[in-house]
């Protein structure tokens, strides 16, 4: 239950920080409308975002209500891509995410990323990466059971490598 509260807190944070009214979703699952040699798992031209095809990752859900939320799954791991317009600094965003997560143990806190472990019965590792591109702020959240994190770490890195901001 606490895990769901954490996810809701992350989504609520970006709901409250969005600056513009809703836009029409132009995302696509599957191949890009452009001719491309690479397969595309996900593309959203409104937010200048595409994610290349990767083994095991699937788009589970996409919503756009003034900010984009795209949820991907890969066995026990989840990736949530949130895109919004915001003037908040990375430090302010990270502080709000930590506050919304409740009691956590921070294991890494860099300039544009933060990683922490939740205090739930089944400990979960959350890695959050933040990028700004054009007028948007992109937040990439990865959630995996702590017990499987070492195996999932390479999948997270590969996912980030397949993210293309245009």
- Considering its fold, how many domains does the chain have in total? 1
| Span of 32-41, 66-75, 99-108, 143-152 with lowest mean pLDDT | 32-41
CATH number of the domain within which 28 lies = 3.40.1000.10
pTM beyond 0.85, yes or no: no
Over residues 111-120, the pLDDT tens digits come to: 889 999 987 7
Residue pair 113/127 in contact (Cβ under 8 Å)? The answer is: yes
Percent of the chain with pLDDT over 70: 77
| Per-residue confidence (pLDDT) for residue 163, from 0 to 100 | 97
Q: At what angle do helices 90-101 and 2-17 cross, to 10 degrees?
A: 150
Over residues 38-97, the pLDDT tens digits come to: 699 999 999 999 999 999 999 999 999 889 999 999 988 999 999 988 888 888 888 888
Residue pair 102/6 in contact (Cβ under 8 Å)? The answer is: yes
Q: How many Å apart are CA 80 and CA 143, to the nearest integer?
A: 8
Residue pair 52/38 in contact (Cβ under 8 Å)? The answer is: yes
Provide the residue range defining the domain that includes 125: 2-165
Distances (CA, A) of 153 to 63, 81, 105, 144, 156: 26, 17, 18, 9, 5
**Secondary structure (H, E, C), the chain:** CHHHHHHHHHHHHHHHHCCCCCCCCCEEECCCCCCCCCCEEEEEHHHCEEEECCCCCEEEEEEECCCEEEEEEECCEEEEEEEECCCCCHHHHHHHHHHHHCCEEEEEEECCEEEEEECCCCCEEEEEEEEEECCEEEEEEEEEEHHHHHHHHHHHHHHHHCEEEC
Q: How many Å apart are CA 144 and CA 138, to the nearest integer?
A: 20
| Per-residue confidence (pLDDT) for residue 86, from 0 to 100 | 82
């Amino acid at each position: 239950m606490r895990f769901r509260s954490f996810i809701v807190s992350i989504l609520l944070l970006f709901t409250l920080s969005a600056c513009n009214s809703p836009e029409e979703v132009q995302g696509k699952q599957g191949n890009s409308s452009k001719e491309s040699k690479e397969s595309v798992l996900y593309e959203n031209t409104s937010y200048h975002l595409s994610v290349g095809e990767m083994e095991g990752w699937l788009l589970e859900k996409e919503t756009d209500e003034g900010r984009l939320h795209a949820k991907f799954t890969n066995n026990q791991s989840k990736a949530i891509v949130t895109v919004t317009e915001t003037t908040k600094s990375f430090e302010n965003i990270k502080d709000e995410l930590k506050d919304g997560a409740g009691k956590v143990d921070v294991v890494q806190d860099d300039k544009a990323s933060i990683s922490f472990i939740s205090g739930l019965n089944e400990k979960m590792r959350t890695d959050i990466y933040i990028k700004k591109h054009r007028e948007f702020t992109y937040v990439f959240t990865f959630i995996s059971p702590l017990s499987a994190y070492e195996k999932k770490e390479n999948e997270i890195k590969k996912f980030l490598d397949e993210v293309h901001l245009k």
